Amino acid sequence: MPGLNIDRQIEFRNKTHASNVVGEMQERKRHDWDRFARPTLDTTNLWTTYTTGTTGPATVAISEIQGGICLITTGTADDDSVAMAKPIIYSADKKAIVEFNVYITDVSGTGLFVGFSDAKNEANGNLPIHYPVDVLTAVATNAVGYVIDADHATSSIMCCGVKAGVLATADDTDIDWADGETKTLRVELDVDGNAAFYVDGNNVGYVANAVTDSTLLCTTVQAITRANDGANTVRVKAYDAWQDD
């Protein structure tokens, strides 16, 4: 009997037993996830955090609001940066995928990188890929993800990559991120190091030769203070990552 192919999702409509499944839901890919529903962020087993900003508060911590989030707070000095990251175990040749649900409080005072990078953190004042003084700049040797940067001339969400130190041509999603908006950002890598980008489930960009296929990467969110705007906050509500065995 041939298998049943489902294009998008399965919805269980029997509401009496909607919360119950007979047997295991077995995943083909390795899956790591977090919903930040613990009293404190587990920085021993789950996340590595960096508060390299020179001026407080610069924190990465659980915030007990509706549903639970990880609250990233940047330092008060211009270009103070902070980061949260997973282990460096993902790669394009394993068709890695990452998805973060992210909220930005003040877009005009924040720079943000969301995706994959070959390092869990960069020196203070840097993101893996960003737009300091409106110039697309790669600090990482290999990285691929979303860049939203107040130093850029636009608040548009950019799809960016750097492969072996060479910047790929960025793809503009033409989506402007407004203050107080939440978006789900997803990056899917293929075995050749190309990247497809999805915002809120919609395909919004593609970057060819975005990253070296065999290079090991971490999944990460890194934020930076821009425009001397003081401490700013980014909320991470949900995280998922997959790759082939």
Which residues have C-beta within 8 Å of that of residue 71, sequence separation ≥ 6? 59, 60, 61, 62, 63, 233, 234, 235
Is the pLDDT at 17 greater than 80? The verdict is no
3-state secondary structure of 215: coil
Is the pLDDT at 10 greater than 90? The verdict is no
> For residue range 196-233, what is the model confidence (pLDDT) as tens digits?
999 999 999 999 999 999 999 999 999 999 988 778 99
Which amino acid makes up residue 139? V
Position 66 scores a pLDDT of 83
DSSP secondary-structure letter at 154?
S
Any idea what the CATH number is for the domain that residue 178 is in?
A: 2.60.120.200
- Which is more confidently placed, 15 or 67? 67
Count of domains for the chain:
1
Domain assignment of residue 30, yes or no: no
Position 24 scores a pLDDT of 61
Domain assignment of residue 227, yes or no: yes
Which residue segment(s) compose the domain that 94 sits in?
A: 49-243
Other beta carbons within 10 Å of 48? 17
Position 22 scores a pLDDT of 61
pLDDT band at 147 (very low <50, low <70, confident <90, very high): very high
Matching residue, tokens 């991470």: 236
Domain assignment of residue 162, yes or no: yes
> For residue range 69-111, what is the model confidence (pLDDT) as tens digits?
999 999 999 999 999 999 999 999 999 999 999 999 999 999 9
pLDDT band at 173 (very low <50, low <70, confident <90, very high): very high
3-state secondary structure of 60: strand
Which amino acid makes up residue 163? K
Q: Which of 111, 91, 46 is nearest to 244 (CA)?
A: 91
Position 3 scores a pLDDT of 65
- Which is more confidently placed, 139 or 15? 139
Domain assignment of residue 112, yes or no: yes
Position 141 scores a pLDDT of 98
Contact 104, 202 (CB under 8 A): no
Domain assignment of residue 33, yes or no: no
Position 21 scores a pLDDT of 62
Contact 203, 197 (CB under 8 A): yes
Q: What is the pTM of this model?
A: 0.91
Domain assignment of residue 34, yes or no: no
pLDDT band at 23 (very low <50, low <70, confident <90, very high): low
Domain assignment of residue 219, yes or no: yes
Matching residue, tokens 């919805």: 11
> For residue range 38-50, what is the model confidence (pLDDT) as tens digits?
999 999 999 999 9
Domain assignment of residue 13, yes or no: no
Is the pLDDT at 56 greater than 90? The verdict is no
Which residues have C-beta within 8 Å of that of residue 80, sequence separation ≥ 6? 52, 53, 54, 55, 58, 74, 124, 125, 224, 225
- Which is more confidently placed, 52 or 3? 52
pLDDT band at 2 (very low <50, low <70, confident <90, very high): low
Position 127 scores a pLDDT of 98
